[in-house]
Structure 1
């Protein structure tokens, strides 16, 4: 009987170690792949948008540095567990490395910065103080609770503290608020884009550029971004609460911060994909085009040429989607107003070439 009991305990221990190795390896492999994508997107951003506002450039630099630090800290914690503590006392493996706690704080900070970025975007395109304030408050709550979980890990650096009931509730609230905020951000962006699509029409700048197709693409992108981060947070929350003594949550914890970083970078880099023939590039006004304000007051070509201006909307809550074509030092504008006005402008262009 004693030998059977010892064999059962050994089998359970081996299964636990295999689970820890598997989840750590899978999570780290996915996380480092996403870090590589972050490096590429950061390079493309600074190469393609050298004239962006210094605040945007600083945000990208901050997110890039935090992403790299997350990868370094995860690598350090795994090296500590699997190499430095090899053949050591089992009690040593119960101690959480400082790098693990630090990485958790960095993920919380990345989530906060990314959601503030989208909060600013919502404010620029809608001007709705209630919705913007709600998104900002949810981001602050999730950030504050994330700091509390990090302090708890520093004060009680034991693996058993992660599975404690109090920590599970606190950590679950962090992921819950973050996931809910992602859904709210996605709904706000899609609602605004759909409202703009209702009155969007084509315009002529040498070649017709249909705003309907662009807005459809932006809606699809906004949904994909929000669903991906929200599902990751939800799976992290579900596995962490339902299986507190397992490590199935680890891959999602390692990659959620990197998904936020890449979503922000993709939002900035997507501007270069809406191009027409003759290297004309369409740009969204809420993507911080240099020299253009959120009300679409105009953009200087930077070559001493004319600056064409689209009329600003009288209702601050409903700002138009403005596209600019930039080719050979000339700048043209078209505002996504009603289809009737778009047709009239096309007719005037044909009558007065």
Structure 2
């Protein structure tokens, strides 16, 4: 009986290992999505700007490294310490490195969204620097928190006043940057400001647009991470949010990039028109070949029968539809009038046309 009692895990040990395992499972699923989206990106946009491709490659490498480090930490807790009661989780070196890299990945994604905000706000120098400052403060205090965890080892020590303040400031400023990103992206990417921008159709496109392109997804998880840590800093309930939030940042960025239209190997942002994309391509010395109908502008590839459209001109859908219908009605009337003539009249008319000089 004593042997069974000694090997029975305590409730505190079960709580620690359960939150760690749940967070690892969800994070592993998100890493698989990261790998898949990275493959899609490099397949669809081979001619994207070099800095965008470098950002995607760096984020994929960081995500792979953090997943490997977390796997090693989980192996240590569940296998190496199998016979040891884990009343408190001690941060391993791999856990500390993973924490720092996860904070770095989140910071890189936020900086990319800073560039997007700077673009959609017509390069205004007010919103973007504020978001960048909040993101940098969150990153700096996050690295400080990582150093403190590495020095003290016990994760329960995050409940001490000094460490709790540092961690809370890091998460608060990161959440503030996310709120500003979502607010600016939602306000400036509205149909009134970009009337030619394609609107989402159906609830699936709407959810994708707002949770991915606008950043609602990582904002919600970051706020939940902040609230859970502030309420229960002495418990390890915040660990699943920590493991998930960085991968959600990365997947959101990749989803936004893969959501774009393809224009001769380049990505076209949702606020850009086909004409703007063509001008951008021509500035790179390449011919623009857009595909499909996008942003309420006909594709330059569209042809119907013997009709040829000017490849340098955009067409108004309503006006051209009316002209086509008018021409069609006139053509039908001519055909009907010819068909009502007697056969001999048609033959004579044809004969006179043929014999006329």
Q: State the 1:183 CA deviation.
A: 1.6
1:109 aligns to what? 104
> Residue deviations 1:238-257, cap 9 Å, x none?
22221223222111110100
Matched, 1:34 2:30: yes
Map 1:313-332 to 2 at 5 A.
325=299, 327=301
2:74 aligns to what? 78
> Residue deviations 1:75-106, cap 9 Å, x none?
11122222223335879x66420111111111
Cα distance, 1:102–1:348 mapped onto 2, change above 3 Å: farther
List alignment gaps of at least 5 residues for structure 1: 1-9, 202-210, 309-320
Matched, 1:56 2:80: no
Cα distance, 1:250–1:222 mapped onto 2, change above 3 Å: same
1:155 aligns to what? 151
1:208 aligns to what? none
> Residue deviations 1:27-67, cap 9 Å, x none?
11100000000010001111111111111110000000111
Cα distance, 1:307–1:72 mapped onto 2, change above 3 Å: closer
Structure 1 range deviating more: 191-200 or 253-262: 191-200
Cα distance, 1:344–1:30 mapped onto 2, change above 3 Å: same
For residue 87 of structure 1, give the secondary structure of its aligned residue in structure 2.
coil
Distance, in Å, in 2 between the alignment partners of 1:132 and 1:215 is 31
Cα distance, 1:145–1:81 mapped onto 2, change above 3 Å: same
Distance, in Å, in 1 between the alignment partners of 2:266 and 2:152 is 53
Higher CA-based Rg = 2
> Residue deviations 1:291-310, cap 9 Å, x none?
x99797342499976899xx
Distance, in Å, in 1 between the alignment partners of 2:286 and 2:266 is 21
Map 1:36-185 to 2 at 5 A.
36-88=32-84, 95-126=90-121, 127-185=123-181
Cα distance, 1:32–1:323 mapped onto 2, change above 3 Å: farther
Q: State the 1:197 CA deviation.
A: 5.6
For residue 233 of structure 2, give the secondary structure of its aligned residue in structure 1.
coil
Cα distance, 1:271–1:307 mapped onto 2, change above 3 Å: closer
Matched, 1:246 2:228: no
Which of the numbers 264, 287, 299 marks the counterpart of 2:281? 299
Q: Indicate conservation of the 8 Å contact 2:63/2:247, yes or no.
A: yes
Q: Indicate conservation of the 8 Å contact 1:35/1:258, yes or no.
A: yes
Cα distance, 1:303–1:94 mapped onto 2, change above 3 Å: closer
RMSD: 4.3
Distance, in Å, in 2 between the alignment partners of 1:195 and 1:265 is 24
Q: State the 1:161 CA deviation.
A: 2.1
Q: Indicate conservation of the 8 Å contact 1:52/1:288, yes or no.
A: no
Instruction: Give the TM-score taking structure 1 as reference length.
Output: 0.73
Structure 1 range deviating more: 342-351 or 46-55: 342-351
Q: State the 1:160 CA deviation.
A: 3.5
Q: Indicate conservation of the 8 Å contact 2:138/2:173, yes or no.
A: yes
1:207 aligns to what? none
For residue 297 of structure 1, give the secondary structure of its aligned residue in structure 2.
helix
Q: Indicate conservation of the 8 Å contact 2:200/2:209, yes or no.
A: no
Distance, in Å, in 1 between the alignment partners of 2:323 and 2:191 is 26
Distance, in Å, in 2 between the alignment partners of 1:260 and 1:283 is 20
Cα distance, 1:109–1:78 mapped onto 2, change above 3 Å: same
Distance, in Å, in 2 between the alignment partners of 1:165 and 1:293 is 57
Matched, 1:188 2:184: yes
For residue 237 of structure 2, give the secondary structure of its aligned residue in structure 1.
coil
Q: Indicate conservation of the 8 Å contact 1:96/1:158, yes or no.
A: yes
Map 1:217-232 to 2 at 5 A.
220-225=207-212, 226-232=215-221
Which of the numbers 256, 268, 276 marks the counterpart of 1:284? 268
Q: Indicate conservation of the 8 Å contact 1:284/1:323, yes or no.
A: no
